[in-house]
Each structure stands twice: as structure tokens, then as C-alpha cells.
Amino acid sequence: MIRIGSRGSLLARWQAEHVQALLAARGYECRIHFITTTGDRVQDRRLESVGGKGAFLKEIEEAMLAGEVDLAVHSLKDVPTALPDGVRLCAVLERADPRDALVSAAGVPFADLPAGSTIGTSSLRRQCQVRALRPDLEVADLRGNVDTRLRKLRDGRYHAIVLALAGLTRLGRADEATEALDPDTFVPAPGQGAIALECRTGDATVAAAVAPLHHARTAGEVEAERSLLQALGGGCNVPLGAHATTVGPELRLVAFVGRADGSSLVRGERRGSDPVSLGRGLAEDLLARGAGALLAP
């Protein structure tokens, strides 16, 4: 019996049940334990004030280290580059579409939104890019799961919102997206669209069970993105995006660092064959061009 730890949101449930089904097809019996995390409980403050994106993992990792669950299922974009002692990432599933999606109440694409329209998102990365690309729009905070965010849009609190296309697709709501945003122009979060599996460091049994689920191409792409993130020391308190794609024998990595108000933004692109070197190299390029000042507290 493999005990899977997961958050309880609809999207997290889909991801956990997806992994459960993949393991069941390989003959493994699994049971899902839904765990409420700090990030789920605290909805009235910004994530960086309650531990950053790691706030969506903390209680699940504690349950794993306590022997209460054996395998954690996470959205990779929520996973910090530094993990607690005793746990490790043991597989990365094939990535879904990593792009951000605009959902507009009137079905109007991003470029055609009327001046003064309000876009909802609490992601500093998305806020920065919206303000840099369309300084004539208003940006307002928006927390909650996918269903909550879409409901707030329908209630008229926003003219449009920005969500991960992968989340909409997994919940069967991709048709609600007005448009998928170009990842070269509107750069996704590192790891966006990928599901990561985490287990105890010494648990060879669980690691072996999930090994066939590991997708090498996705792993290489997200390793480049997360290598850049680690080299810059960025987290959810810094507007930062990174998107890697496989182009023949190489990886192409696009990234940016900016200010939340969109007033300053440094972009870069680099190609290479080694994911770690590629991420670190592009991070050095960005720092040399002024990203360090944007990363300073």
C-alpha cells in the first residue's frame, strides 16, 4: 500500500488521483490522504508572508517524515528548489501545456482589453508582466483555487483573470480560456504545468514504483528552469519567469526578472545541452544586465 499525500483542492485531487491511477495500472494499491496546508488555510495574506510557495508543501512533508504518508504529489511550480532533509523529488511527470491563460469575462483577448480593465492575479510574476505589457490596465489581487477565481470573475469583480492553462485543462475547463499567452512574451513560472512526486530519501520501494512515471524530456526542461531559479535565489516574492523547451539536441531557455510594478524588467535567452549549466549561465547573464538590483529586498 502506497499512501499518497495531497492538498484537498479540486486541482490537487485531480493530480493525486491521476498518479493513483497510473500506479494502479502498474499493480500498486494506493490510498490518498488529503492534508490541509498553511497555503490553503491562509487566504487573506500574500504567500510570501506565510512561508512562500513552500506553504503548500510543509504539512505534507511533515506527514511524510512522520511516516504517515509515503508519496507526495505537488504542482512543481509550488516546490522550492531547496527541500527539507529527508525528502527528495523522485519523479517528474510529462508536462502539460505550461502557458498562462487569460480568461476574459467578455471573451476579449489580452491585447484588446479596454484601458482601465481590471485583471485579477496575486502572482507577482503575472502582475509584473501585465503591467509591463499593458500599463493602462488595473491589476488586483486574486487568491483561491481555480473554481474560486473563476467564480469571482463571473461575479463581476474582474474583467479578466490569468490562470495556468494546465490547471484549467486538468479540470476540464480549458474551453473557458479566452487565449493562451505566448510563453516568450508572457513567461510562465519555473516548472509550470509539471507534476512532481516527492518521497523519503531512503524509500527505495516507493522510488522504484514511481520510476516508470518519470519523463526525461520534461525533467531536463524543468531542471534548467529550476537551476536558473536557484542561481538567482528567487521565490514567490520576486517577479521571475523561466520557460525551457527542447529544440533538437539542445534546450532553449527564456527567462525574465522584474519589479512587481512592471517599471523594470530584464529578459534573456540562452541555448545549451546541459540543463544545470544552461540555467546558471542565463542567471549570470541576467545578473550582469542588472537583475541583481531587482532581486534585492
Nearest CA-CA partner of 7 in 42, 44, 34: 34
Residues annotated as catalytic are 78
Nearest CA-CA partner of 102 in 89, 121, 88: 121
Q: What would the DSSP string read from start to end of 163-203?
A: EEHHHHHHTT-GGG-SEEPPTTTSPPPTTTT-EEEEEETT-
Given a contact cutoff of 8 angstroms between Cβ atoms, the answer to whether 127 and 260 are in contact is: yes
DSSP state of 128: H
Beta bridge partners of 31: 3
Nearest CA-CA partner of 103 in 89, 119, 92: 119
N- to C-terminal Cα separation, the chain: 46
E strand residue ranges, the chain:
2-6, 30-34, 71-75, 87-92, 100-104, 118-120, 138-140, 160-164, 179-180, 195-200, 240-247, 250-258, 265-272
Neighbours of 2 (CB within 10 A): 21
Residues 6 or more apart in contact with residue 42 via CB below 8 angstroms: 50, 55
